[in-house]
Amino acid sequence: AIEASTSLVASELQQGEQRGEGPRVGIIMGSDSDLATMKAAAEVLEEFGVPCEVTVVSAHRTPERMFEYARTAHERGIQAIIAGAGGAAHLPGMVASMTPLPVVGVPVKPTGAHLDGLDALLSIVQMPKGVPVATVAIGNAANAGLLAVRILATSDPALLQRMLAYQRGMTDTVLGKAQRLEE
């Protein structure tokens, strides 16, 4: 069932195929139950026109799949990996140990979790020196998407312009709200 839902997720959310581009960002998660959180990263990448792939890779339930994914992602043209997991969230760190790519970690708060995602946050953020994972706030997959865009934008002038426009848009929105409050 996991494999079936994984391919469903991948086919529903994989972007860029129509444009004939391969995915530039890999979004992986420990379970399809993480998708409700992780889809925000895919939505951000879609907004910026960055093709991505989305699938399930579990550190504990599919360790060999994790090895394969982490070791080969850069050879397939992936430039950054966003990895989300809940609980004993070993996926981002283990993937970071086997890939030369930047890894952004998303602590997921699973439904009904007792520790509110703090367990996942500490599992992901507390990496040993030499194996970095850029960790975002609990559940903030949108920021993971934005961070991946910024990483890619360092060598993609058009993407850099889109990030600048996004930032100007945020500023204008806040200034508009301030002006309305002051009136």
Question: Least distance (Å) from ligand RP5 to the CB of residue 58?
Answer: 6
Beta strands in the chain (DSSP E): 25-29, 52-56, 80-86, 103-108, 134-135
The CA-based dihedral angle spanning residues 14, 20, 26, 30, taken in that order and rounded to the nearest 10 degrees: 30
Asked whether 80 and 101 are in contact (CB, 8 A), the reply is: yes
From CA 126, how far away is CA 27, in angstroms rounded? 21
Strand arrangement of the beta sheet that strand 25-29 belongs to: 52-56, 25-29, 80-86, 103-108, 134-135
Q: Report if residue 139 touches ligand RP5, rule: CB under 6 A.
A: no
The stretch among 25-33, 38-46, 99-107, 174-182 that binds ligand RP5 (CB under 6 A) is 25-33
Q: Which of 16, 26, 51, 86 contacts ligand RP5 by CB under 6 A?
A: 86
Could you give the angle at the alpha carbon of 137 between the alpha carbons of 175 and 154, nearest 5°? 70
From CA 77, how far away is CA 55, in angstroms rounded? 16
Cβ closest to ligand RP5, residue 44 vs residue 59: 59
Q: Report if residue 143 touches ligand RP5, rule: CB under 6 A.
A: no
The CA-based dihedral angle spanning residues 76, 77, 80, 81, taken in that order and rounded to the nearest 10 degrees: -20
Q: Report if residue 54 touches ligand RP5, rule: CB under 6 A.
A: no
Q: Which of 5, 10, 14, 33 contacts ligand RP5 by CB under 6 A?
A: 33
Q: Report if residue 28 touches ligand RP5, rule: CB under 6 A.
A: no
The stretch among 24-32, 43-51, 74-82, 92-100 that binds ligand RP5 (CB under 6 A) is 24-32
The interface with ligand RP5 within residues 96-115 (CB under 6 A) comprises 108, 110
DSSP state of 103: E
Cβ closest to ligand RP5, residue 81 vs residue 153: 81
Q: Report if residue 26 touches ligand RP5, rule: CB under 6 A.
A: no
| Interacting residue ranges for ligand RP5, rule: CB under 6 A | 29-31, 33-34, 58, 85-87, 108, 110
